[in-house]
């Protein structure tokens, strides 16, 4: 089949391996993906690190003596890199609701929250795209650095460790900053039902209402003039076949998140999406093969040793 399709590992492959860890990313590359989706935060000493939550997650993080956090941990921006490295994020808290979502996740005790530079080096060695989410929160600006500061921290890492980069965000302020200051970097416009409802906040003034309720049209207007086909990354459950067609007619690539069930993968592939972001790239490869789509080659990374 002559069709370009992107298989993206969400936080590596969260359904199989500890999320946003070098060990998990390396194991995901061994399965075979086109890109790695990951989240970024900035430590108190200005280091870009790979983690989803603005504060340590009590269902993932343990102290140096193996104790689970009693509640939400300190904010990432309040910890230095050295302080952050004391926490083990290599397994899910037993019997937690979060662990119940991913019963097949294999633990890797000793895994640490990695520096973005280390992830970029791994992605560059594999030749895959590092699709970095600027994890800023317009509704909680106290928890993160500004979108501009986060964008520049990411670009500093890429300057130090050249890699294939894309940038994504629900907070379109960061994407606008990237368009203005770093126009060569491909962008992905993330949307969810929540951010669509609160679009004036998350989209920095834009709303879908101005485009007859079409989120695809709003994204296309925001991305207009970009020298590439920008990506619209919607929540898969909120996507319709008509919106896929409309987005593509407007020049967008459509790569929904987070698609984990084989029947949903098959349905979206049949709709003609340009890729999927998934916690289960192993299942996605099966769905792609059944649809006649080529699958990306595996990459065996050198053994990872967390510091």
- pLDDT average, residue stretch 218-223: 94
What domain count does the chain have? Answer: 1
d(CA 91, CA 114): 15
User: What tokens appear for 162 in the block?
Assistant: 């050249």
Give the pLDDT of residue 46.
98
Q: Is 150 a member of any domain? A: yes
- Strand-pair partners of 39: 133
- Strand-pair partners of 129: 35
Q: Is 307 a member of any domain? A: no
Least confident of 56-65, 190-199, 284-293, 295-304: 295-304
Using a pLDDT cut of 70, give the percent of the chain over it. 97
User: What tokens appear for 152 in the block?
Assistant: 């520049």
Q: Is the model's pLDDT at 227 over the cut of 70?
A: no
Q: Is the model's pLDDT at 306 over the cut of 80?
A: no
Q: Is 299 a member of any domain? A: no
- pLDDT average, residue stretch 146-170: 98
Q: What is the pTM of this model?
A: 0.96
- pLDDT average, residue stretch 69-89: 97
Give the pLDDT of residue 282.
99
Beta strands in the chain (DSSP E): 6-10, 35-42, 48-50, 129-134, 165-169, 187-191, 231-234, 253-254, 275-278
d(CA 53, CA 287): 30
- The domain that contains 277 carries what CATH number? 3.20.20.190
Measured CA to CA in angstroms, residue 57 lies from 22, 118, 143, 301 at distances of 18, 21, 14, 27
Using a pLDDT cut of 90, give the percent of the chain over it. 92
Give the pLDDT of residue 2.
64
Q: Is 214 a member of any domain? A: yes
Q: Is 269 a member of any domain? A: yes
- Strand-pair partners of 235: 257
Local confidence band at 221 (pLDDT 50, 70, 90 cut-offs)? very high
- pLDDT average, residue stretch 277-283: 99
Q: Which residues, other chains included, contact 186 with Cβ-Cβ below 8 Å and sequence gap of 6+?
A: 165, 166, 167, 228, 230, 231
* Residue 43 near residue 80, CB atoms below 8 Å: yes
Mean pLDDT of the chain: 96
Q: Which residues, other chains included, contact 43 with Cβ-Cβ below 8 Å and sequence gap of 6+?
A: 49, 76, 77, 79, 80, 81, 84
Q: Is 304 a member of any domain? A: no
Least confident of 3-7, 206-210, 279-283, 303-307: 303-307
Give the pLDDT of residue 307.
52
93-145: pLDDT as tens digits: 999 999 999 999 999 999 999 999 999 999 999 999 999 999 999 999 999 99
Radius of gyration of the chain (CA): 18
d(CA 180, CA 176): 6
Domain that holds residue 196: 6-290
- pLDDT average, residue stretch 10-22: 99
């Amino acid at each position: 089949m002559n069709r370009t399709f992107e298989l993206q590992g969400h936080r590596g492959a969260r359904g199989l391996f500890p999320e946003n860890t070098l060990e998990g990313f390396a194991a995901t590359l061994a399965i075979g993906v086109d890109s790695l989706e990951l989240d970024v935060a900035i430590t108190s000493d200005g280091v870009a690190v790979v983690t989803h939550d603005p504060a340590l997650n009590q269902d993932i993080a343990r102290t140096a003596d193996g104790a689970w956090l009693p509640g939400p941990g300190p904010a990432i921006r309040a910890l230095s890199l050295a302080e952050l490295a004391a926490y083990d994020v290599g397994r899910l808290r037993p019997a937690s609701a979060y662990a119940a979502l991913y019963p097949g996740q294999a633990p890797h005790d000793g895994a640490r929250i990695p520096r973005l530079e280390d992830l970029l080096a791994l992605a560059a060695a594999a030749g895959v795209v590092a699709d970095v989410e600027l994890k800023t929160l317009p509704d909680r600006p106290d928890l993160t650095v500004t979108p501009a500061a986060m964008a520049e921290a990411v670009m500093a890492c890429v300057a130090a460790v050249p890699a294939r980069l894309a940038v994504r965000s629900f907070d379109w302020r960061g994407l606008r900053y990237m368009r203005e200051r770093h126009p060569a970097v491909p962008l992905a416009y993330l949307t969810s039902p929540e951010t669509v409802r609160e679009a004036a906040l998350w989209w920095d003034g834009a709303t879908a209402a101005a485009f007859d309720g079409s989120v695809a049209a709003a994204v296309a207007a925001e991305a207009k003039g970009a020298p590439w086909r920008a990506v619209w990354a919607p929540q898969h459950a909120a996507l319709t076949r008509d919106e896929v067609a409309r987005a593509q007619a407007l020049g967008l690539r459509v790569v929904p998140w987070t698609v984990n069930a084989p029947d949903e993968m098959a349905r979206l592939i049949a709709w003609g999406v340009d890729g999927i972001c998934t916690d289960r790239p192993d299942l996605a490869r099966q769905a792609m093969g059944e649809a006649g789509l080529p699958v990306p080659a595996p990459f065996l990374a050198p053994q990872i040793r967390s510091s």
